[in-house]
Chain A
Amino acid sequence: MDTVLKLEKLSKHYGRIKAVNEVSFAVPKGSVFGILGPNGSGKTTTLGMILGVIQPLSGSFSWFDNLSPQEAKKHIGALLETPNFYPYMTARQNLTLAAKVKQIKEPNIEEVLEQVKLLDRADDKFKTYSLGMKQRLAIASALLGNPEVLVLDEPTNGLDPRGIAEVRQLIMDIAARGITVLMASHILAVVEKVCEHVVVLQNGVLRFEGLASELSGDAALLRIKANNDSQLEALLSQHPQIQNIHRDGHFFDLEIDPELKAEELNQWLAERQVFLNHLEIKQAGLEEGFLKLIDS
């Protein structure tokens, strides 16, 4: 499997704070790769280093099997933290300038503006834009020249729910074209829907590397409800195959033995005169896996 990016024990310390500490991972070509972590876990610092704006303390990284950083950047579209543009220029002028910097001969400015739905505001000055529009323009700029790799740091920042859904769809469309997407976010719902590979950073340390499904785990979850909460709770605590009970209002989320079938539990409760009015089988999501890892 080809890798587009490889990090080798990359570190960056600010005084005594180890923002990034000996982080190593590899991004496979064509993957949608998520960097997860709470605020301040070192996501942006890591991306800053691989994009050449932060000098690493130690360790190394290489793009496309040791291509020079200048050469590599021609194949990378990146959005780091905030959208940075010239406030006095229009969106079109900003993209024209970005294309000159990126050495794109025939920039697909109209196309990328269309993709982020900014065509009708293309000739307005950047300083008149809302945060969501600025964010979309930054994504448009990253898409200029059809890069092989897209690096996105919190791409849904400042977007409303509709905007988040649109960007998520855009990322999936981009990934479908075979473009590698490296994305950092703390919004798990977005990562869960688009990323196959994930790494988890916490306090600058790599906590997990693997497939998103591995992080989620395969523990089954049942969500149940009955008319009598206390009677149900008392019974559940006696069942040998229930590993964990989490009460959520009138609902009970159960982590159960994979052997235990939902209908068996239902029958067992009915035999003891407790009748369920809600029974739902849930797959443990990324959020559960993530929180379990972070809290451990």
Chain B
Amino acid sequence: MMRLIAIEWYKLRTHRFFWWGMGLFLVLLSVLLWTFGKIPLPGGGPKAEDAADAGMAMMLLPRTFEEAGFYRLPLIWQNATFWASFFKFIPAFLLLFFVSSEFEYRTYRQNIIDGLSVGQFFLSKVFTLVLFSVLSTIVVGITIVVLAYANNDMAEANLWAESSFLIGYFMETFFILCMALFLGFLTKKSVITIVILIMYYYVVEQFLGYWLSEPGEALFDYLPTRPSRSLVPEPISRILDFFGQREAPSLNWHMWWVSLAYSLVFLFSSYFLIRKRDL
């Protein structure tokens, strides 16, 4: 296993796309999370210069997402993982690129000729998949901890409350990578597969859902990408409800396990796709 990891790590670290992808993920995530707090809150308080004209009640209203508690514990966990989940496509595209170029340049074939078994090649790609999921989860986790320390009185706050959303984020990324691996093995092409993945994720499955059932019905919620997307619910309404109870919507563990099951189905299907294929 260490040999497979060494082989795969060598393939990754010698390619600039790997470092660019990692850098892009880090930069985009940081920029989004830092600027999000500055966005004016819809229906929020008046700007500082207009404050004199406004009444006292209006003065109490938060003006930006930051003031509404975007960086507050424990809300930060859900806020950050929700927005970070849009960037899961960066590692997914990166994985697709690395997998499809193995077919395009026939290096997969050469690896087999040189002594890897099909199963070992598959496992080495699973390593990349797990590495990407873990790395992006760590990056998101560290960003959250930094933001939490910068914006909270840590003597009072509990850092780890609601941190289970990070486990939800991990599964969401892991799932999309498993799906990308499957599609990559299926088509052996990178660009077309990126289009297929995005189209399916944002268009096809929506139509499929409405065609097969009503939203809220069980079938709709159990289409392949649905369970993973429901793991971190959108946090905006929770933020806007600043006078409400802000009940914590905890991670849906049932859907977490369903996502894992779907991921494993994609993984095993990937293996069966290449197991008997001529190269």
User: Which residues of A does B touch, CB under 8 Å?
Assistant: 48, 51-55, 70, 73-74, 78, 80, 82, 84-89, 93, 96-98, 100-103, 141
Contacts and interface: CB of A to CB of B under 8 A. Distances in A.
B117 to A, nearest CB: 6
Contacts of A97: 7, 10-11
A88 B16 CA distance: 9
Contact of A102 (B14, B16, B114, B276): B114
Contact of A54 (B3, B6, B110, B279): B279
B211 interface: no
B278 A84 contact: no
A87 B15 CA distance: 10
A88 B101 CA distance: 11
Contacts of A51: 112-113
Interface residues of B, number: 23
In this complex, the member of B14, B114, B276 whose beta carbon has the largest number of chain A beta carbons within 10 angstroms is B114
Contacts, number: 66
Interface in B106-128: 106-107, 109-117
Which 4 interchain pairs have the tightest Cβ spacing? A84-B110, A73-B115, A53-B279, A84-B106
In this complex, the member of B15, B109, B113 whose beta carbon has the largest number of chain A beta carbons within 10 angstroms is B113
Given A84-B105, A101-B7, 12 more contacts: A52-B112, A52-B113, A55-B276, A78-B113, A84-B106, A84-B107, A85-B105, A87-B105, A97-B10, A101-B111, A101-B114, A141-B114
Given A101-B115, A101-B116, A54 B107 contact: no
18 contacts: A48-B278, A51-B112, A51-B113, A54-B279, A55-B276, A55-B278, A80-B110, A80-B113, A84-B106, A85-B105, A86-B14, A86-B107, A88-B14, A96-B10, A97-B7, A101-B111, A102-B115, A103-B3
Interface in B27-75: none
A103 B10 CA distance: 14
B114 A85 contact: no
A141 B107 CA distance: 13
Contacts of A103: 3, 115
A102 B109 CA distance: 14
Nearest to B16: A88
A82 B105 CA distance: 10
B210 to A, nearest CB: 42
Nearest to A90: B14
A35 B106 CA distance: 24
A132 to B, nearest CB: 18
B7 A53 contact: no
A100 B3 contact: yes
A85 B105 CA distance: 7
B278 A53 contact: yes
Contacts of B117: 70
Contacts of B115: 70, 73-74, 101-103
Nearest to A138: B110
Given A54-B279, A100-B6, A100-B7, A89 B14 contact: yes
A26 B11 CA distance: 37
Nearest to B117: A70
